[in-house]
Amino acid sequence: MHDGQWREWHPYVSPCDPCPPIKTKWYVVPPNQFIPFQPMNLPQFPLDEALRRGTLWPALYSPYPSKQKTKGG
């Protein structure tokens, strides 16, 4: 979550909330949001890596770690 694609926010916590509060919430802002029109000649992944990552261009790559896995599930 330290790749610059994540934003955090802090929901209001009421003393009357029945569940233990989640104090920090996260959402992802993928890199396509910052590219109005893809420039030509961007660096590319090697072909085997491109398939694994789902894109040919590192500039468009957005990792997503499973919340289950980080929990050790």
Contact residues: other proteins, CB under 8 A:
28, 30-32, 35-41, 47-48, 50-57, 60-64, 66-69, 73
Q: Which of 10, 13, 7, 60 is nearest to 32 (CA)?
A: 60
Residues 28 and 17: their CA atoms lie apart, in Å, by 26
Which CB sits closer to other proteins, 15 or 65?
Answer: 65
Supply the minimum distance, in Å, between the C-beta of residue 63 and other proteins: 8
Please say whether the beta carbons of 45 and 53 come within 8 A: yes
Taking every pair of Cα atoms in the chain, the longest distance, rounded to a whole number of angstroms, is 55
Which CB sits closer to other proteins, 14 or 70?
Answer: 70
Which CB sits closer to other proteins, 20 or 36?
Answer: 36
